[in-house]
Structure 1
Amino acid sequence: MIAPQVVARDNLPQRVRIYEVGARDGLQNEKQVISTVVKAEFVERLVAAGLRTVEATSFVHPKWVPQLADAEDLIDRLQPVDGVRYVVLVPNAKGLQRALDRGVRDIAIFASVTETFSRRNLNRSVAESIEMFTPVVEQARAAGVGVRAYVSMVCGDPWEGKVPVTQVVDVATRLVALGCTELCLGDTIGVGTPGHVRALVRALIAAGIERDQLGVHFHDTYGQALANVLAALQEGVTTVDSSAGGLGGCPYAESATGNLATEDLLWQLHGLGIETGVDLHALVRTSLWMAEELGRPSPSRTVQALAASVGAA
């Protein structure tokens, strides 16, 4: 099997947790309705490839994201696997209750650091969104459920332009103060660069947020995603979001062209000698299979490069 030559670097984590978003963020914008059976098989294949944190779906109203209208059915189909976390996105208290009713143990909420995107995505100001999330986080934590807070537009906003680091810190610290157990920095439109990423991470740590609470979510709009991942790793971040096959984007951010492909991330991490627990070739086969289901090739360069060598999907 083709694999990267391993050349380790000092001052990098020995192991990285990949937070796989392909099943939710990756599929939510697909225009064709994907069957629940296919979605469940996708998640099962991701887990079989070694991924241990998979964001499976969202308990959002079907009116807003029709593709995820089968959230309950999907969760019911997923078999528990030791060491595997199935995370669901919840928009509000009603979504949380739906998740709790299905025995979900990990949820995510989606906030914004900019007013325009907050209103477009949540129909609320930033302050109003935090007020809305307060009882959600409180109820989830009281039920022993882990809460990840996505913080979007941390590097820039298509309507407001540059976003000050202090603005990100303000929103992030307020979310952590609510009781969120994890914070994910989302470069939603992919305008961030390595120096900016380092400044963000350092500012958040200086504000009292623990490194092990931080995750990063980079879009590759300007080809900076892998460089930004390396910058985050150099600052001690050990959780990185990615999407199998490079699926997905953001329906409310017009210039968000797609998530970092998990396979491209794995090639980099494995080349650096960083453990992930994920079988790259098994994941490539999964993305080739999903590409057939969707009727188009995967945008992941690593999937394209390894397609001929991994065998049947």
Structure 2
Amino acid sequence: MTRIHISEVGPRDGLQSIDRVMPLEAKKAWIAAEAAAGVPEIEVGSFVPPSLLPQMADTADLIAFAKGLEGLAVAALVPNFKGAERAIAAGAEKISIPFSMSETHSLRNVRKDHAAMLAEIRAIAELVASRPADSRPHFEVGLATAFGCTIEGPVSEASVVRLAAAAIEAGAVEVGLSDTTGYANPAQVRRLVRAVKAEVGDGRLNTLHLHNTRGLGLANALAGLEEGITTLDASLGGLGGCPFAPGASGNIVTEDLVFMLEAMGYETGIDLEKLMKVRAIIADALPGEPLYGFTPDAGLPLGFGKVAA
């Protein structure tokens, strides 16, 4: 049975996309409940300046809390070298930096062009390498807007392949493909995963970060699985988007993704009934905030999880 690694990004990608700030204790309850349901990795926040995203101001506190949860890998997003320094000081076990394949989006999102971003990646890689082996976080570069951009439109697949290779050359352990704007389709996912893997190696591309903006999130996830992807980002209740990409709406719903994988015979290690109960924490802390997902609304099919004779 193939194991698929689910990385929950709601506490970061979901909460950065709404105006209200979830109280710290509610975030802790959310993270603890997902860990108890068997979610193996949670991106608990980002080290963006609080003046830009006050929703992320307590990320260091969340890392300290989450590291006390048994079996949970604790991840954080960093926009730059300074953010990486803060994440490493806080004890993050995985750090990811967004590297927009659309240069216009990169300038809008982190105020750096491609050359400046590659220099930033190299500096962070050197910082990570300077740490003792037992406190060295896993460093991933997320290739944002890899499938298209709401500002530029289509993004050249050849450019994505070239920039993926440049990120690896600059010292990233791996790259992930991010459908930041919800533009991807399954054929495009298959084509781009194959092309990037062919350039950087199978082991250097394991992750897809998908949005469900046009309803293709799960179809795109399945296409990625068929090309050897083993890690999928998702957000509880489909919270998420990108504040700097107009029209980019929610991530794929963690509950629906886990249901699809388990129904297909993949192993996730997640108790789906426990996972769906976590939604109540968000609903209580953020009353009126829309939560998405077909599986939580419909419930699990009779006999789900039982092997037919």
Q: TM-score under structure 2 normalisation?
A: 0.91
Partner residue of 1:278? 270
- Aligned equivalent of 1:206, options 198, 203, 220: 198
Report the residue type matching 1:278 in the other structure: I
**Alpha-carbon distance between aligned partners in 1 of 2:272 and 2:201, rounded to the nearest angstrom:** 32
Report the residue type matching 2:177 in the other structure: L
Partner residue of 1:90? 78
Describe how 1:20-31 pairs up with structure 2 within 5 A.
20-31=8-19
Residue by residue, what CA displacement relative to the aligned partner does 1:193-232 show, whole Å, maximum 9, x if unpaired?
A: 1110010011012113324632001111111111111111
Residue by residue, what CA displacement relative to the aligned partner does 1:217-275 show, whole Å, maximum 9, x if unpaired?
A: 11111111111111111111111110111111110111211100000101110110000
With over 3 angstroms needed to count, the CA separation of the structure-2 counterparts of 1:123 and 1:82, relative to structure 1, is same
**Alpha-carbon distance between aligned partners in 2 of 1:79 and 1:86, rounded to the nearest angstrom:** 7
Matched-pair contact (CA < 8 Å) for 2:144–2:178: yes
4+ aligned runs moved over 3 Å, structure 1: none
Partner residue of 1:185? 177
Counterpart secondary structure, 1:131: helix
Report the residue type matching 1:31 in the other structure: D
**Alpha-carbon distance between aligned partners in 1 of 2:227 and 2:67, rounded to the nearest angstrom:** 36
Matched-pair contact (CA < 8 Å) for 2:151–2:245: no
Sequence identity (%): 38
Report the residue type matching 1:299 in the other structure: Y
Counterpart secondary structure, 2:245: coil
Counterpart secondary structure, 2:17: coil
**Alpha-carbon distance between aligned partners in 2 of 1:37 and 1:238, rounded to the nearest angstrom:** 32
Q: CA deviation at 1:81?
A: 3.4
More divergent stretch after superposition (114-123 vs 138-147): 138-147
Report the residue type matching 2:249 in the other structure: T
Partner residue of 1:117? 105
Q: CA deviation at 1:306?
A: 2.5
Partner residue of 1:107? 95
Counterpart secondary structure, 2:215: coil
Counterpart secondary structure, 2:200: coil
Structure 2: state its 5+ residue gaps. 303-309
Counterpart secondary structure, 1:88: strand
**Alpha-carbon distance between aligned partners in 2 of 1:41 and 1:137, rounded to the nearest angstrom:** 33
- Aligned equivalent of 1:47, options 28, 35, 42: 35
- Aligned equivalent of 1:132, options 120, 124, 136: 120
Counterpart secondary structure, 1:236: coil
Q: TM-score under structure 1 normalisation?
A: 0.90
**Alpha-carbon distance between aligned partners in 1 of 2:88 and 2:67, rounded to the nearest angstrom:** 16
Partner residue of 1:302? 295
